[in-house]
Amino acid sequence: MNLRQFYELVLSRGEENSSSFPLLWNLSVLGILRYTEPNNTVTQKPGLLERKLNRHYRRLCRVQEELGRLNWKIPSLNQTPGSSFEDFVFSQLDFSPYREISREDFESFVPEGLGDFDEDFYQKNFNLGRDETLALIEQSYIEGDGLYRLKQEKPLIISIMRSLDTSLENAALFKIGEVNLELQELSSLADKTPEALPRAEQLYPVRVAGLGGLSITHSDGMKTDLFISPEGNLCAVFHPGNKAWTRVLISGNFS
């Protein structure tokens, strides 16, 4: 089975089944684009990876906005004994956006957006697991009139929501383990033995490399260009506030 045949097999299962293997579905749609769209610009309904890239872009926009709001004219750090640059930044942060969040913004990050970070991110920052973090968020907000409102402002929930909104400690765009799990699911749905499908170890590096050269257009019209670096990393150049930010999405070290 060659790569195009594999894409066609995945897509033949129908979009109604794609929730069982959303990553492979998305990769197959993007793979078929290689044969049909010479400019490699993604314009179809955002799939799993495009949504991840949209959230990554939004976080960069938020960071860029906060950097632009910093007042560098306040007394310098060396005039305040014991102060650090983190203290300087923290003193000027605006936490009010997390008291009321639009339904669109909230649901773009919860629950799917929690998967943008590794499990150890939650343990390190909040001493909670990902599922515990999700449960806390769902318990802390109430929905109404197109908004999610914070029931009670507590430091932990504010810290969690701000991290989901601005942290750049993203996990890899997708991982070989995710590919392997979805291949097993596809095998059962497609009535194929696992041996009839590509192995995750074969498919993963090919699909990582295959994303190089694609362009993603965000809702504000800005484009993000993906490329493979000389080291073999899958990278993206984002342009929040017309400032170029280059980020590594997947390390070229697959071992």
Task: Look at residue 56 and tell me if it is in a domain.
Answer: yes
Asked whether residue 204 is assigned to any structural domain, the reply reads: no
User: Residue 237's closest CA among 113, 99, 53?
Assistant: 53
Range of the domain at 87: 49-166
pLDDT tens, residue by residue, 107-152: 988 999 999 999 999 999 999 999 999 999 999 999 999 999 999 9
Cα–Cα distance between 15 and 38 in angstroms, integer? Answer: 24
β-bridge pairing 147-150 and 234-238: unpaired
Q: What is the pLDDT of residue 18?
A: 87
Tokens matching residue 108: 């773009």
Q: pTM for the whole thing?
A: 0.86
Distances in Å between the Cα of 9 and the Cα atoms of 177, 184, 208 are 20, 14, 19
Q: What is the pLDDT of residues 151-205, one digit of tens each?
A: 998 999 999 999 999 999 999 999 999 999 999 999 888 777 767 888 999 999 9
Instruction: Give pLDDT, residue 35.
Output: 59
**Is the residue at 3 inside a domain?**
no
Using a CB cutoff of 8 Å and minimum separation of 24, what contacts does 37-41 make?
39/215, 40/213, 40/214, 40/215, 41/214, 41/215, 41/217, 41/223
- 156 within some domain: yes
In a domain, 224, yes or no: no
Within a domain: 67: yes
Buried b (16+ CB within 10 A) or exposed e, 41-61: ebeeebbbbbbbbbbbbbbbb
Instruction: Examine residue 211 and state whether it is found in any structural domain, yes or no.
Output: no
At position 142, the amino acid (one-letter code) is I
Tens digit of each residue's pLDDT (9 = 90 or more) over 34-46: 656 655 555 567 8
Is-contact 166 65, C-beta < 8 A? no
Tell me what pLDDT residue 34 has.
66
Residue-wise pLDDT tens digits, 218-246: 999 999 999 999 999 999 999 999 999 99
pLDDT tens, residue by residue, 54-107: 999 999 999 898 877 665 565 554 555 554 444 445 455 667 889 999 999 999
Residue 116 lies in a domain: yes
| 238 or 19, higher pLDDT | 238
Q: Which residue did the predictor score with more confidence, 74 or 208?
A: 208
What's the CA gap between 34 and 214, in Å, rounded? 9
What integer pLDDT is reported at residue 132 of this predicted model? 97
| Overall domain count for the chain | 1
